[in-house]
Amino acid sequence: MTTRASVRRERRIGRPVEVVWEVIGRPDLLHLWYPGIEACEVRGDVRTITLATGMTLEERILTLDPVQRRFQYRVTGGLFQEHLATVDALDLGDHTTLAVYSTDAAPATMALVLGGGAGAALDELARQLEAATGPAVDAVRAGPHPSSAPHANHAEREATS
């Protein structure tokens, strides 16, 4: 019986990777491009999200790497026995970007549910970036959130500890 699962969603976005990363690399803006997430608060390496159903989830930010353009986080507690989300922005070399949102989770069912949400999020991200307008794009233009401090690469630290 499958107890964990890995689900990957990807979306080609007709914007340069630097522009895409400007949004993906802002953990405090997730609610502006992820359908069903209504609020998002970042304090240090802890992000708390509030879903449209009223449920709140606490997440730990593990990787925020502007060189690899990789963002990783982990939902802590709740229904999850295990969770790791990885969002990559990959330069396709023609001023377009492949955005990849991967979800590893146990129970396996949650990977599928979150994978569905991630797919919808990538669609919304592409819509806003390609139209050059929308709440997330506008928030990037307005500048960094005051509480958005650089994060250490916690994934690297975990791997070597």
Summarize as ranges the residues that interact with other proteins (CB under 8 A): 1-3, 5, 9, 35-37, 51-53, 55, 79, 106-110, 112-113, 115-117, 119-120
Nearer to other proteins, 3 or 161 (CB): 3
Sheet holding 82-91, edge to edge: 5-13, 97-106, 82-91, 70-76, 56-65, 46-51, 37-43
Determine the Cα–Cα distance for residues 134 and 14; give it in Å rounded to an integer.
15
Q: How far is the CB of 74 from other proteins (least distance, A)?
A: 17
Determine the Cα–Cα distance for residues 155 and 33; give it in Å rounded to an integer.
24
* Strands in the chain per DSSP E: 5-13, 37-43, 46-51, 56-65, 70-76, 82-91, 97-106
Nearer to other proteins, 19 or 113 (CB): 113
Nearer to other proteins, 22 or 59 (CB): 59
Q: How far is the CB of 124 from other proteins (least distance, A)?
A: 11
Q: How far is the CB of 81 from other proteins (least distance, A)?
A: 8
CA torsion 115-116-118-120 (nearest 10°) is 160
Nearer to other proteins, 4 or 154 (CB): 4
Nearer to other proteins, 51 or 100 (CB): 51
Q: Give the closest residue to 21 by CA, choosing from 74, 68, 84.
A: 68
Q: Give the closest residue to 23 by CA, choosing from 156, 127, 161, 93.
A: 127
Q: How far is the CB of 37 from other proteins (least distance, A)?
A: 7
